[in-house]
Amino acid sequence: MLTAFITHPDCALHAMGPHHPECPERLSAIRDRLLALGLLDCMLQCDAPRATPGQLGRAHSMEHVRAVVAASRKEGLHSIDPDTSMNPHTIDAALRAAGAVVLATDMVQAGEAASAFCCVRPPGHHAERAAAMGFCFFNNVAVGIRHALEVHGLERVALIDFDVHHGNGSVDIFRDDERVLMCSIFEKGIYPFTGEDDSGPCMVNVGLPSRSGSAAFRDAVTQHWMPALDSFAPQMVFVSAGFDGHRDDDMGNLGLVESDYAWVTRQVMDIAHRHARGRVVSCLEGGYALEPLARSVAAHVRMLMSGD
């Protein structure tokens, strides 16, 4: 089976103004890199559908869903917070981004794809149950996870988040859901200034100091994530794949490189093969320096495609 590559042209139409780091060019940089390496030709390419209100409502309050739809503008920009805005195309992009993870979940669960990478924007892991923030409107991975739990009847799902920023939205949605084990590593002391207090039997959140580098990152995965994941034995693994911890991305300062993203993806794949029949659904989150982003995603995708 092939790894699915799920995206949609609508995701490139959302824009939050000139010089905004979360820009449409992120997707074209990734696609161009995968094409140049010959990886995209070996993937199952699919268009992302729009998520339905019912699918969104499993992760978000319906009031939030209606508010985001209502905020969509016919012209100009509408500010959600100082860093997050909507243009006339944002709602379609946001619906496609969440719908991509639903489709990926269906395909991987049905055995139509070995794994999946959702190359979509806007990102999602800062979106809380009832609030948009931090470039995010709907929590794409959370929508897919709840689809796996409620529609496909899975009992244990893991969420891996290696974005440089803590996934506060995912914590807000899954804090009390014992069916979901969330494992994250993030840089302490930067936006959204959360995470260090989010611990518990189903939360393994590890904050690392600035300039921690590869060794500290890999040690945190080995010492904290892997025992918890093996004990939990997830039936499917979801990844909030943020690449802004790269040493050339000024949105964070962890000092990671492409080989770190390949390595952590290999650990995720090992967990999935031990417990989840290899089922992994990954979704793009951060990563704003275009060349390092493209190289890091390629390393991640290559490992997703590697199978056993």
Which H or E run contains 80?
strand 78-81
Instruction: Pick the catalytic residue from 14, 125, 126, 246.
Output: 126
- Grouping H, G, I as helix, E, B as strand and the rest as coil, residue 273 is helix
Buried b or exposed e, range 149-184, using 16+ CB within 10 angstroms? beeeebebbbbbbbbbbbbbbbbbbbeeeebbbbbb
Q: Could you give phi then psi for residue 258, rounded to 5 degrees?
A: -55, -40
Taking CA 263 as the corner, what is the angle to CA 152 and CA 182, rounded to the nearest 5 degrees? Answer: 40
243 burial class (0-12, 13-18, 19+ CB within 10 angstroms)? buried
Q: Could you give phi then psi for residue 200, rounded to 5 degrees?
A: 155, 180
Q: Tokens 């892991």 belong to which residue?
A: 125
Please list the residues that pair with 239 across neighbouring strands. 160, 282
- What is the spatial distance between Cα 161 and Cα 165, in angstroms, rounded to a whole number? 9
Q: Which two tokens stand for residue 124?
A: 């999602």
| 171: CB partners within 8 A, 6+ apart | 182, 194, 195, 198, 203, 205
Please list the residues that pair with 7 across neighbouring strands. 47
Which H or E run contains 78?
strand 78-81
Let me know if 60 is a catalytic residue: no
A 10 A CB-CB count for 18 gives 6
Q: Would you name the residues annotated as active-site residues?
A: 126
